[in-house]
Every structure is written in C-alpha cells, then in structure tokens.
Amino acid sequence: MSPKEILLSTISFLVLLSSSIYTFHELSKPIKNYDSITWVYGLETLKREDIICKLDKEKLNGKPILLANPVRISTRLKRHPLIAEAKVKRFIVPQRKIKIYIKETKLWAKYGSILLDQNAKSVVNLNRTCLSGRTQRQLRAAISPLIIIESSVALKDHELIILRKLCKTIESSTKLKVTNIKGDKERNFIIYTNHYNFKVGLLDRSVLKRIERVTLVLDQLRSIDKNHTDLEYIDLSLSSSQVILGRKQVLTVLPKKIAQVISSAKPAAKPSSRIAVEPKLAPKPVPKPAPKPLSEAAATTTTN
C-alpha cells in the first residue's frame, strides 16, 4: 500500500470516528424539555396540547433523544380515537428535534353508542371506552354534524358499509347532505337528507343499483323545485325500474267563517296526497260614486 493510500484511509477513519463520537454525544445528551424540540403537523380538530400530552406520558424530559422511540410514540398516539395514523421521525443533524405527522380520523356516523369512520368501521364505543374529559368533549363536538343511524334490528358490518356507499351516492348525485338513516323491523331503510327522503328498501345486493335511479329523476326534481312543489319522499325500493315521487300532505288554512260553513255543510275530508290550493274568493263589487249636487247658479239657470 502506497503512503498516499495509507494517508487517505487514515483520514477517512478519523472522519468516521469523529462523526460517530459526535453522534453518540448528541444522542446521549439529555434534553430538558421535549416540547420545545417537537413539531406537529396535520392537526384539524385536535390541538397541539393533545399530542404533547401523549408525548409527556413517555416521560422523556431529562433523557437523551436516543430513548425517544418513534414506534412506541406513534403507537401511543394511535390510541386516541380521533387519530387514524401517526408517524414520528427523530432528527439529530443539524439540530435535535422530533417531527410528528398526524392524520385525523374522519368520522361519518353514530350508530347507537358507536362512532363510525369514513370506511364505516367502528372507531370507539362511547359506553365501553374510558376516555379523558378532554377527549369526551372533542368527541361530543365531532358528533353534532354526523349522520345518526337508527335501526330496529342489529346491523352487521357489511350492511353499514352498504349504507355508507348509499349515502355517498346520494350526496354526490343530489348535492344534498344526508342527516340520518332509519330502518324498521322488516329491515327497510329510509335515508333522510335536508331536502328529500329516499326510501331504499332492503339492504340486499341490488340496492346499490336501485339507488343509481336517483340520477334518472334529477331533472324532475329540479323542475319540482322550480315550481315550488314540495316532495315528502322518493321511493327507490321497487324491484322494477319505476321511481315514485311522493308529495307532502298539505292542509290549507282557510278563514274562520269559510271553515265553519264548510265544516257544517260537509263531513271532514281526509287529507289528500296532493298539494291543496287555497280557493280564490270572488272580488267584492265596487260601489258607484254618488252624483255630485249642482251649484246654485246652475240651478237658477235651469229654472228660468
């Protein structure tokens, strides 16, 4: 080996040795406050204090960054019901710091005491899980815009997934927000929006094809809205390709005198499924003005 090669290998060895010594020194150097070297990204509903609170439970203050295990910290963070994913990265150069990337859980619906995420999977059971006061307040705030699912029979996981797909189809087709879902003992379901109610029937294999019929009646729905004719429901539960538009039952409010005459003359009629129109009353005749009296001068002229 030439002297030049020996010199280069010696220099490289010294560089590696010094870098390893520096790295070990930085790793073993204690950190008084991990809050000051921690950066958190991706928060929407949660606050930074919620993440730091979980980090404090690791009891890292006063310990070297070498003991900050990223896997263990991310596992602890994922126990929070509003955290879907958490990635923790540890940096030494150019300065010691910890970066935490959070992906929050997108809640979709509340089924009994269970909160479901966007994949219709159970996130947390409010009755069985012991949560801190802060987490309970956060969940209560997140529940208010959620879809409420009420069913007389217990729903299985695949049925909840079907309901999620139905709601997604209705919202994307009509641009309406689904507010709640109700199912009876016969397992027939109605999906309620802030404008129309959709009768989807049984949650069988054909329900996803049946719900696609809503796109066929969109033009009719827009024309109905244009004419200010309210609908009570849209029935898509039939096995045929027929769609039934059910109109609201509206009772016309009449003046008291007319209502008394109608009630004394005819028996009370059942409310119709059509929209009742208030009858127009005949206009009253306008009295003619009385002839004006003649003046005195005109009266004397007529007498002469």
Per-residue pLDDT of 234-282, as tens digits, reads 888 887 778 888 876 544 444 454 444 434 444 444 433 333 223 333 4
- Whether the pLDDT of residue 226 is over 70: the answer is no
Task: Evaluate whether residue 275 is within a structural domain.
Answer: no
Query: Who wins on pLDDT, 87 or 285?
Result: 87
Q: Which of 247, 264, 298 is the last residue of a domain?
A: 247
For 121-172, the pLDDT digits (tens) are 998 888 877 777 778 777 877 777 899 999 999 999 999 999 999 999 999 9
Task: Evaluate whether residue 130 is within a structural domain.
Answer: yes
Residues 238, 159 share a domain: yes
Q: What's the mean pLDDT when you consider all of the chain? A: 78
Side chain identity, residue 155: L
CB neighbours of 37 closer than 8 A, spacing ≥ 6?
31, 95, 96, 97, 98
Give the mean model confidence (pLDDT) for residues 195-209.
89
Give the pLDDT of residue 290: 58
Whole domain around residue 30: which residue ranges? 16-104
- Whether the pLDDT of residue 299 is over 60: the answer is no
pLDDT grade for 292, boundaries at 50, 70 and 90: low
Between helices 218-226 and 157-174, what is the axis angle to 10°?
50
List the CATH number of the domain containing 23: 3.10.20.310
pLDDT grade for 283, boundaries at 50, 70 and 90: very low
Q: Which of 168, 233, 165 is nearest to 195 (CA)?
A: 233
Percent of the chain at pLDDT exceeding 90 = 34
Q: How many CB atoms are located within 10 Å of the residue 20 CB?
A: 10
Residues 88, 206 share a domain: no
Q: DSSP state, 58? A: T
Q: Which of 232, 247, 262 is the last residue of a domain?
A: 247
List the CATH number of the domain containing 141: 3.40.50.11690
Q: Which of 210, 232, 231, 209 is nearest to 222 (CA)?
A: 231
Give the mean model confidence (pLDDT) for residues 193-205.
89
Give the burial class of 105: count Cβ atoms within 10 A of its Cβ; 0-12 exposed, 13-18 middle, 19 or more buried.
Answer: buried
Give the pLDDT of residue 287: 60
Say how far apart CA 14 and CA 294 lie, in whole Å.
Answer: 132
Q: Which of 247, 268, 288 is the last residue of a domain?
A: 247
* Two structure tokens written together for 255: 């003046």
- Whether the pLDDT of residue 118 is over 50: the answer is yes
DSSP 119-177: TS-EEEETTTS---HHHHHHHHHHHTTSEEEEESSPPPHHHHHHHHHHHHHHHHHH---
Residues 161, 215 share a domain: yes
Say how far apart CA 161 and CA 184 lie, in whole Å.
Answer: 18
Side chain identity, residue 26: E
Percent of the chain at pLDDT exceeding 70 = 77
Give the pLDDT of residue 258: 42
